A = this chain, B = another copy of it.
Amino acid sequence: MATDDLMTRALEALGDDGPLSVEAIHRLADLADLPETMTIAEVADLLDISPHTLRYYERAGLVEVARGGNGHRVYDAKAVRRLVFLTRMRLSGMPMRDLRHYVSLVDAGGHTVHERLDVLVGHRDAVRRRIRELTLSLVAIEYKIATYGGSTGSDVQEFGTTTGTDRTALPDESLRRALPAE
């Protein structure tokens, strides 16, 4: 069935270039050897977010950051590791609200481990659903691109024209039905 083919190719096509910038990957590759302490600018650079956002996260109660003698923030390795985790969760769509909840569990002590796992599992499932949702949309978009003729409303006649030519192994009827005009 052609839908599976397209789905497979859609998934394969993801092997191109990552969505994370190459620098960001490099910077995150070796979390093992983090410096003892970092400035806000260094952390911002590491995480690819602005100092403003870092201060915002701190204000939101997601992380505690010490101050140096000059009043400047001093991020130790523990704070940085937590921020790496937090930004990863944010990037995958976890709301600030849930993140605050999770952090409060962590700070509450070891007896909250079970509930923390519930949060993680819930988010994992949400990410899975979102990926699936996006993959379905991707298939639809790729189909539309593959069959695009420039329809401006009266679209039906164009879908029959490529039978025989078969320029890109077009998907099946179920897709055609799911992909309307424009």
Contacts and interface: CB of A to CB of B under 8 A. Distances in A.
The oligomer's copy count stands at 2
Q: Sort chain A's interface into a size bin.
A: 35 or more
A136 B182 contact: no
Contacts of A31: 177-178, 180
Contacts of A180: 31, 80-82, 84-85
Contacts of A133: 18-20, 91-92
Nearest to A28: B178
Given A110-B150, A120-B144, A152-B110, A134 B137 contact: no
A135 interface: yes
A2 interface: no
B85 A181 contact: yes
Given A31-B178, A103-B182, A181-B82, A138 B131 contact: yes
Given A31-B180, A85-B182, A180-B85, A127 B138 contact: yes
A121 B145 CA distance: 7
